Chains A and B, each alone.
Chain A
Amino acid sequence: MIRSVVISGVGGQGLLTMGELLGEALIERGFKVSVGEIHGLSQRGGSVVVFVKYGDVQPSPIVVEGEANALVGLELIETARRVQLLAPTGIVLANNYLLPPPASQKIPGREELIEAIRRAARNVILINAVELARKAGSSVAVNMVMLGALAASGAVDLGLADLKGVVEKKFTGRTGEVNARALILGFEEAQKQLREKA
């Protein structure tokens, strides 16, 4: 059985790091993993998507429409853009953050986007990740907050401890501390919302 996660956002938000950390944590749990990335110019503030697929056989690196078990969106327009990749039973974890592309005229509003995402996906969790990241010590740690939220969702075979393990291995010093805190804050927030829903 192959499971998959789509991470979507804007180039520069740290999506590649998320894919790498997820991949490493899943390998530690004994899965075969493929992480599909996009490099190069598209990373310059463009729309970026990262695929993480895993299972007991080596998966392909692309997630197709209707396949993903979870969509982690770091920005609302980009979350809406990739929601079609989600399986009908999948979950969306969206950073409640709107970054309009520069110089674009017609932009859907925040509420309109959230509504559209909710229409397309049954299960949507909104996280104020920027705020939580700041609380953890750096606005750059939004990606870690969202990783923590993913761990809480139960959509991947990973717990908070698995992710903390790889984060601590990869980052040292203050960055490591901030990232670990952000991970926990994201985890707790998603857990709280899921409990309220249930």
Chain B
Amino acid sequence: MARAAISGDSGTRKLLLGNEAIARGAVEAGISAAAAYPGTPSTEILEALAEVAEEYGVYVEWSTNEKVALEVGIGVSMMGLRALVAMKHVGLNVASDPLMSLGYTGVVGGLVVVSADDPNAHSSQNEQDNRYYGLHSYIPVFEPSGVQEAKDMTRELFQLSEEHRTAVILRTTTRLSHSRGEVMFGAVERVHREPVFHRDPERWALLPPYSLRKHREVLERIRTLEEKLGEWPFNRFVEGDGDTLIVSAGFAHAYVREALDWLKVNPPLLKLASTYPLPRALAKRALEFRKIVVVEELEPFVEDQLRAFAQREGSSAEIHGKDLFPRVGELNTALVASGLSKALGVSFDPPRGNAAGVELPPRPPTLCPGCGHRSTYYAVKLAAARARVKPVWANDIGCYTLGFFPPFRMADFTWSMGSALGIGMGIARFSKDPVVAFIGDSTFYHAGIPGLINAVYNQYPIVVVVMDNGVTAMTGHQPHPGSGYGPTGEKRPAIPVENLARACGVEFVEVVPAYEVARLRDAVERAIKYAREKNAPAVVVARQFCALEELRMKRMRGEAVVPYVIDQAKCVKCGICVDQFSCPAIVRENGSIKILTELCAGCGVCASICPAKAIGPLSG
């Protein structure tokens, strides 16, 4: 599977993910650089670009966080070159500070900021609609309706960005980012620009006398775009029957088309690909219809803009949207057909299936067999019991967030990147019980360090367990500042967590292999004691390379994994391994406990915690 997904000549056809299509579009536009922080559903954009970095001469990087990624992109643009920056929706919150100023300054080289939103919150803490960031920052927003269009539009947007001297937001959603469709490749533009720093302090230095002037300028820029986007080819009017116009925004178009097919009706359509600012000419034309139905995912973003426009124009068109379609969760063809049937006054019988009619156990994701996070949670729990404390469990964003679920239940809150420390400190200031914060290595580099400095400076007795597995695991094992290599596998300097913790002024720093339960337990017990006595933070780094990635590498090297087995004669059925440690490879079957050898990663931790010494490697 070594062939790069997005490499190929003009005319090549490939089945691509929406994210890969965006990456291909950027390559075709001749970008010089791409920067991102991994986050579902955005991650594959940079991964796809990394695969062709050498072939097409693109510099790619996983930045420490989204703010840094956007800032790198802005710098590249100031050099007159094209750049793409990608992140998930909540990542744009982190990058929002430079984003707001970017709206004022505009760009030189084309700059596309991809925001991958997650309606339905498949893998996110919320389903925020990032189109409002465009409205908020005066940066125009574009939404492709399918995979091919994602490729074509991305390519075009670099052109548009330079022409109007503005950054643009390309808003994708999980269903576009993670669906595959056929994409026909175009030619790769060889931009061959001499990189030149566009020195213009009055433009780039956002100081008081210039800011108001820029505010006026950006309003003018948006007005121009309102006019120009009426002719932009990705926005399209389609003639049809009747006096009700259907407006589909971005990816909602895929459902609208299918729903109209189900309903066997053919109303006029306005397919909108640029959703901020609203193209004036098209909005005007829409108001000629008696009734307008806006179909869009999440918030009434286009609907409300259209309502405001209608009010200003004194139009009496009837406007519908979120009265017909849900504002929560994703759309699908059935939901859209149901709403459209009401608006168009046609009948609709949704397809029905039969449920299984048995109660099924939920299957939330779990820590992998052999995951070091599991033994860490297990050891920390033992430490708390030994120290006779009931900690408040502060938790963060990553695979380890799964510590929320039984049997551990060690996430009293999870918020946003780095919040385990921040919020944990607010609690620690007034809590009699100790606060133990769990944070992953990647999250620590991303947003944990300022919190840790605060803990030292403002003297918080907080125990920070850094769960260090060497990669950004949850999103698919991307490297980070501790990994020692970059996105294309090239060597980069590694910055160990413990060095940073010591540099932040933390005096209690211990590093323990995460598989060594007893050692880890003792270290955490010491940390709890230290924090309380010294009124200062203590850091324990629990280190074990990600088991899933390790397994993959072993498979590639052709190395055998020696699974563990339970000696049934010795097993006393205490259930510790299956109920309290809960490796997914250990199951109960017909009254006995056994290890599913095909799932076992061979880490051996279960053997070390089994009080009857009933578990051992298969051969020995």
Chain A residues close to B by CB (< 8 Å): 2, 10-12, 19-20, 23-24, 27, 32-47, 57-62, 64-68, 77-78, 80-81, 83-88, 99-108, 112-113, 116-117, 119-121, 139, 170-171
| A81 CB contacts on chain B under 8 angstroms | 356, 360
- The 8 Å CB contact of A46, one of B41, B364, B406, B578, is B364
Over the window 332-345 of chain B, the binary record of Cβ atoms lying under 8 Å from chain A Cβ atoms (1 yes, 0 no) is 11100000000000
A40 close to B180 (CB less than 8 A): no
Q: How many A-B Cβ pairs are below 8 Å?
A: 200
How far is B40's CA from A120's CA once the two chains are assembled, in angstroms?
Answer: 34
B356 close to A100 (CB less than 8 A): no
Given contacts A11-B365, A64-B334, A80-B360, contact A38 B178 (CB under 8 A): yes
Given contacts A44-B367, A45-B365, A77-B361, contact A37 B178 (CB under 8 A): yes
Closest to A68 in B: B353
Over the window 93-132 of chain B, the binary record of Cβ atoms lying under 8 Å from chain A Cβ atoms (1 yes, 0 no) is 0000000000000000000000000000011000000000
Taking the nearest CB of chain B, how far is it from the CB of A116, in angstroms?
4
B354 close to A38 (CB less than 8 A): no
| B357 CB contacts on chain A under 8 angstroms | 116, 119-120
Given contacts A60-B333, A108-B359, contact A65 B353 (CB under 8 A): yes
- The 8 Å CB contact of A33, one of B44, B182, B399, B584, is B182
Closest to B474 in A: A41
| B179 CB contacts on chain A under 8 angstroms | 34-37, 61
Q: List 23 A-B contacts (CB under 8 A).
A: A20-B180, A34-B254, A41-B365, A43-B365, A45-B366, A45-B584, A46-B363, A62-B255, A65-B351, A66-B350, A66-B353, A81-B356, A84-B354, A84-B356, A87-B353, A100-B587, A102-B584, A103-B578, A103-B582, A116-B356, A119-B357, A120-B357, A139-B598
How many B residues touch A, CB cutoff 8 Å? Answer: 65
Closest to A19 in B: B180
How far is B123's CA from A58's CA once the two chains are assembled, in angstroms?
Answer: 26
- A-B residue pairs, 7 tightest by C-beta: A66-B351, A40-B40, A46-B365, A61-B179, A40-B123, A66-B353, A80-B356
Most buried by A among B350, B364, B399, B583: B364
Q: Is B175 an interface residue (CB 8 A)?
A: yes
| A105 CB contacts on chain B under 8 angstroms | 361
Over the window 29-48 of chain B, the binary record of Cβ atoms lying under 8 Å from chain A Cβ atoms (1 yes, 0 no) is 00000000000110110000
Q: Is B146 an interface residue (CB 8 A)?
A: yes
Closest to B41 in A: A39
A78 close to B41 (CB less than 8 A): no
Given contacts A33-B182, A108-B358, contact A27 B365 (CB under 8 A): no
Closest to A42 in B: B365
Taking the nearest CB of chain B, how far is it from the CB of A122, in angstroms?
10
Q: Is B352 an interface residue (CB 8 A)?
A: yes
Q: Is B23 an interface residue (CB 8 A)?
A: no
How far is B579's CA from A67's CA once the two chains are assembled, in angstroms?
Answer: 39
Taking the nearest CB of chain A, how far is it from the CB of B174, in angstroms?
8
| A61 CB contacts on chain B under 8 angstroms | 175, 179, 254
B360 close to A27 (CB less than 8 A): no
How far is B355's CA from A86's CA once the two chains are assembled, in angstroms?
Answer: 9
A78 close to B40 (CB less than 8 A): no
B351 close to A67 (CB less than 8 A): yes
How far is B216's CA from A132's CA once the two chains are assembled, in angstroms?
Answer: 70
B365 close to A2 (CB less than 8 A): no
